[in-house]
Chain A
Amino acid sequence: MGSLLNYVIRRALFAIPVFLAVSILTFLITNAAGDPVNIVRLGIRSITAAQLEQLRLFFHTNEPVYIRYFYWLSDFLRGNLGQSLYTGSVASRIIPWIGTTLELQIPALLLALGIGIPIGVYSAKHQYSKGDYTITTAAIFGISMPTFWIGIMLIIVFSYYLPWLPAYGAYSAYPPYWWGSPFLDAIAHLILPLSVLTLVSVATITRLTRVNMLEVLRQDYILAGRASGLSEWKVTYKHALKNAITPVLTIVGLSFGTLLAGAPALETTFSWPGLGFAFVRAASTLDLPTVQAIIMIITLMVLAANILTDLAYAFLDPRVRIT
């Protein structure tokens, strides 16, 4: 396993330039977006010259931008994600945001895999049947409909006309709780956004699985498996699916990093207090330290997900060697 550790270290070293490039871009763009001193100043009725000078010292705006970048980067690397312009430490708030996003994204991903893969297999096994046409058409619908549109439609139907489910938020801040208890209340809040997210991911995973299955089912080893008397079930699930699933899992793995970013449009539609919603709010209120911190956290997650995906690939496919 020495080579494995070696590999991870090497990949991590490759990730460093990417991380630095993203950090430079992020810092420059957010700085171009506005001067934090001026933004904070708007909230103070009257400000003395001395107070203004203090703010400048705090945000280092009296120094050139590349010096400020190094202050910011060294803070970030030591775990200090900065101060929000409005609500204090970013680090203490970003963890709950990530948690809330994952509460939505992980069940959606698991459901999408559990539903999308069997549907994709069915579709490939019955290529050009009515079922296959129905599935592929529905998948195109699921992929092309914007999540916020589906979300709004579901809210209109299931929260407005039929008052069955809550329209926004991840939980009720005050009683009465939906369905009687705080736990069931959280579940009730989860259902609509989870459905939208699952629908979209199912569409993607179904299509990917179908295409890969069709490709694999044409392979000689499938024919040879059938010819040697294996049951259709074994041919399909033990041989074809395992071969077809590797690329699907790769794409899922690569998207896992962006998945942590949450779905800004969807979280905003449902006022879901996750990272995506937080990002949209921070950007629209020019809360620059929060925007910077969120982008950098997402960057780290994406880089980590890439490395993990490569490892998973090597684990699934013996032809891929880690050296």
Chain B
Amino acid sequence: MGELLRVENLRTYFFTEAGVVKAVDDVSFVVNEGEPLGLVGESGSGKTVTVLSAMGIVTKPGRIVSGKIFFRGQELDHASENEMRKIRGKKIGYVSQDPNSSLDPLYTIGNQLQEVIRTHFEVSKDEGWDRGIKLLKLVGIPEAETRMKSFPHELSGGMRQRVAIARALAGEPELLVADEPTTNLDVTIQAQVLELLKTLEKDLQMSLILITHDMGLIAEMTDRVVVLYAGKVAEEASTHELFQTPRHPYSAALLNSVPRLDRKAALVPIGGGIPNLITPPNGCRFHPRCAFTKQVCMDQIPPLEDIGGRRAVSCHRWKEIELRRNV
């Protein structure tokens, strides 16, 4: 089980007119082979920006301020466009959120697949087209030959998401990032797409990063979880342990806001919203919304503490407080 992607002390800031938005502020995590990782948090917690930073495609006014990115132990110069382009699509594939807008409406499916294939492999146009057909078959699109000539608007949302996945696979990446892959799909289609992702992971021996705010997906799809809050890592653990014994109040709160079928428990929403990241709260960024806040939480930024057993938590009071899933 080798290490695939390592992100160390990543800081990505957006330099806007209103001020500097610290969207990702000192985030570290590791993705291992064969160990699907979930990045979880509310909207605006920095999940997507973290991954885009790792791929070197943060757009202005955003910029990676500091941090290191390693792929298979080799450090990447995130300032070098040439070096980062070798990663994109080829090592890390990315499936974006909204299948309705992730394909260029003016080109056929075939043209877009062929283009990516020919970016990564020196093959003829015909060969690129044939590989495109194979990719469509791989992601379970019927009548792949005819579909190649379709435009995105002629496909359903689920089909488009499959095409988007096919394109992300075109460079035969070792790591696939699925950014909220099911958020914009119908429930029945969601299940199919998840099934597809699982199959691909197994068949292509590809690792997965799943970005989501849906704890149900995390439970189903991942082995490890990184919980992000307001641009910082709140907690990192194996999925199993996180669901059993969340250590960070935010992780517990996330779990308690998910409906459960096995127990009749009231849903507890998390009060308030993600803080303003231009002037984040002093101390722990979660303290204004936390039920366990004490003076120390307001004064000092909690370090991400290694608590053994490949777990880490960023909370001053994790030892004292007893977090429980509401029963």
Contact = CB atoms under 8 A, between A and B. Distances in A.
Tell whether A and B belong to one assembly. Answer: yes
Interface of A: 127-128, 217, 219-221, 223-232, 234, 238-239, 242-243, 246, 316-319
A299 B98 CA distance: 44
Nearest to B91: A229
22 contacts: A217-B59, A220-B97, A221-B101, A221-B104, A224-B94, A225-B104, A227-B94, A228-B94, A228-B116, A228-B167, A228-B171, A229-B89, A229-B116, A230-B116, A239-B104, A239-B107, A243-B104, A246-B106, A317-B105, A317-B106, A319-B151, A319-B153
B60 interface: yes
A173 B153 CA distance: 59
Contact of B106 (A127, A128, A316): A316
Contacts of B104: 221, 225, 239, 243
- A interface majority secondary structure: helix
Nearest to B150: A318
B177 to A, nearest CB: 8
B55 A227 contact: yes
B160 to A, nearest CB: 11
B23 interface: no
The 8 closest A-B pairs by CB, nearest first: A229-B89, A227-B94, A228-B89, A220-B101, A229-B88, A220-B102, A318-B151, A221-B104
Contacts of B55: 227
Nearest to B56: A226
Contacts of B97: 220
Contacts of A219: 101
A234 B112 CA distance: 11
Given A128-B61, A230-B116, A319-B151, A243 B94 contact: no
Given A227-B57, A243-B105, 15 more contacts: A127-B60, A128-B60, A220-B101, A220-B102, A221-B104, A224-B164, A224-B167, A226-B57, A226-B88, A228-B93, A228-B94, A229-B85, A239-B104, A239-B106, A318-B151
Contact of A228 (B52, B81, B119): B119
B324 interface: no
A317 B93 CA distance: 28
A247 B102 CA distance: 20
Contact of B88 (A217, A220, A227, A246): A227
